[in-house]
Structure 1
Amino acid sequence: MKDVQNSADTRGIAIQRVGIRDVHIPFQIKTKEGAYQQVLANISFTISLPMEYKGTHMSRFQEILNKWTSSPIAEPEMAEILQEAMERLQAEAADIRIDFKYFVERVAPVSRGKSVLDVDCFFDGHMEKGESLQFTLGVKVPYTSLCPCSKEISEYGAHNQRGVMDVQVRFDDSKDCILIEDLVLLMEQQASCQVYPLLKREDEKYVTEKAYDNPKFVEDILRDGVLALRKLSGLRWFSLACDNFESIHNHSAYASHEEYLD
């Protein structure tokens, strides 16, 4: 059959990214305990297209991904996926982003009841021909914050709210990336209190009082998060954004920061 996609194009425009999006495929992610957690991934998978070609072969992206549906995925596997894409599609660069919901075990602080906390995560990989993988890990961590101003000016009580930290990290090539569980815990520790899926009355008392004893503005949470991230060995770059979903306003309080580390 005639290969229309591989025919010549004369408009002189190289396309930076072309491929498939919103591909839903099961993957496995290695847990801290060494087991594997099955996740449902939403994937964007693209390559660069030289100006000489009319189009790319979309079916090949799906063929490459299908081989990994029952295998664990991390940085080495993503590098292999991108390398195959560049070879099969004659591309100079390839990108993949894998969004998934990961479940972290949580133990209630007093009753010790066990539950799982759902965390939105992503793996992002970029590779150019002859270069190593550029890998980014992203997590969105829920937390509780309590307003220092409200505590200071009120005769009793203080308003609090749930928030979300959006943290993204890149490590040196020679270093292992931090595990999802450890990154989630590290960021939770910078808030007024953690969020727990399961709480009995004694647990609710604990988290309410802990937040009251540890009031933080969104700026405090962000700055404490920055200081915590700077201490990670091998970290090359990070970004952190904090959203407090205000309980007494019809808007959120927001702060963000990113930096490169030597």
Structure 2
Amino acid sequence: MKLPVVHLPDIQANQPDIAITLTRVGVTDVKKLVEVARKDKRPIVLVSTFDIFVDLPSDRKGANLSRNFEAIDEVLEEMIASPVYEIEDLCSEVAKRLIDRHEYALIAEVRMKSEYILKRETPATKLNCQEVVNIFAEAKAIRGKTLTIRKLVGAEVLGITACPCAQEIMVDKARKELKKLGVESDVVKKFLNNVPMPTHNQRGRGIISIETHDSHFVSLEKIINIIENSMSSQMFELLKRADEAMIVERAHKNPKFVEDCVRTMAQKIVNQFPELPDDSVIVVKQINEESIHRHNAFAERKSTLGELRQEINNIG
């Protein structure tokens, strides 16, 4: 005997008691295993966390949240047959599926964050090591006459900064002490040029995000390299004595304020992403965890790439 089909009521479609629009409704901290393809290399496997949202109109009591899980699982399954090469493209595809499934929504948003393992080589002994950086991506699908997609990709990288202010104080002290000992001025100058003076250090966290249209490609590797090379020195998990000496010397020969790091990253973005359109949105942050203060130092620049290009090109 064929059982009758039972149609369950769609409670979410009811009129809410308080009829106001909600900006975001969805799920957060959804853990998924993501496999990102690479040309001529083994794929990268990421344990990723997703936040998935749609807006909710004032005439609906709730959103159909199971559709969020359906959209992301469907895209991850399809990646096996047709691989995705960029994490922001994965978010973009999920956002498109969300708009299709949530017919009442005008905006769908997907956020993703993961830890990414990099292969690095120590500076002096050339030992192979692994470093961890935090990567993230976002996508927003906006319903209109045509579907508009904006996507974002970024990274947070640890490094070292050395304080220029304290170092200058120590340079002045060394110069005076050497002169007291009768060392000639030209020798003092050569010594101070060759041997960097001590200063206090910070563990720096550089963060870059770039938001652009769905059709444009942004190299995550390039973003990571820009951050790594905008502080006083890179940081390594594995260091032998020769590496440690080189890192300390490198950092103290390249002292930087938190503001210097942000300005360096901004300039490198302009130089290394000439193909991106002017309406791309750039956010650059630096957080230095102070060693002699209880507080942290912070600097940020947010602008369109066009504004940043114009400002940097007008320097000098």
Confirm or deny a common fold (TM above 0.5).
yes
**Aligned partner letter, 2:235:** V
Q: Structure 1 stretch 232-241 or stretch 73-82: which is displaced more? A: 73-82
TM-score after normalising by structure 1 = 0.92
Kindly indicate whether residue 177 of structure 2 is the aligned counterpart of residue 161 of structure 1: no
| Residues 174/125 of structure 1: CA separation in 2 closer, same or farther (3 Å cut) | closer
Matched residue SS, 2:234: coil
Choose between structure 1 and 2: higher helix proportion. 2
- Offset of 1:79 from its aligned partner? 2.7
Task: Give the SS at the match of 2:47.
Answer: strand
Q: Which has the larger radius of gyration?
A: 2
Q: 1:68 to 1:114 in 2, by over 3 A?
A: farther
Q: Could you tell me how far 1:33 is from its partner in structure 2?
A: 6.4
Give the Å deviation of 1:258. Answer: 1.1
Structure 1 spans left out of the alignment, 5+ residues: none
- Return the structure number with greater strand share: 1
SS in structure 2 of the partner of residue 133 of structure 1: strand
Paired position in structure 1 for 2:70: 63
Q: Percent identity?
A: 27
Alignment match, 1:28: 35
1:117 is the counterpart of 2:117: no
Structure 1 range deviating more: 98-107 or 60-69:
60-69
Q: Distance in 1 between matches of 2:117 and 2:38?
A: 10
Q: Secondary structure at the match of 2:115?
A: strand
Residue of structure 2 equivalent to 1:80: 93
Of the structure 1 ranges 32-41 and 221-230, higher mean CA displacement relative to structure 2 is found in 32-41
In the comparison of the two structures, how many residue pairs are matched?
A: 261
1:6 aligns with 2:13: yes
Match of 1:140 in 2: 156
Distance 1:204 1:228, change over 3 A: same
Mark the CA change 1:31 to 1:159 in structure 2 (over 3 Å): closer, same or farther.
farther
Report the AA paired with residue 49 of structure 1: L
Structure 2 contact 150–213 (Cα < 8 Å) conserved: no
CA RMSD of aligned residues (A): 1.9
Structure 1 position 80, deviation (Å): 2.5
* Alignment match, 1:15: 22
* Paired residues of 2:91 and 2:112 also in contact (CA < 8 A): no
Alignment of 1:88-127 (within 5 A): 88-90=101-103, 91-127=105-141
**Distance of aligned partners of 1:112 and 1:85 in 2 relative to their CA distance in 1, 3 Å threshold:** same
Structure 2, unaligned runs of 5 or more: 1-7, 175-196, 307-316
Q: Deviations over 1:210-244 (max 9, x none)?
A: 11111111121121111111222215221111111
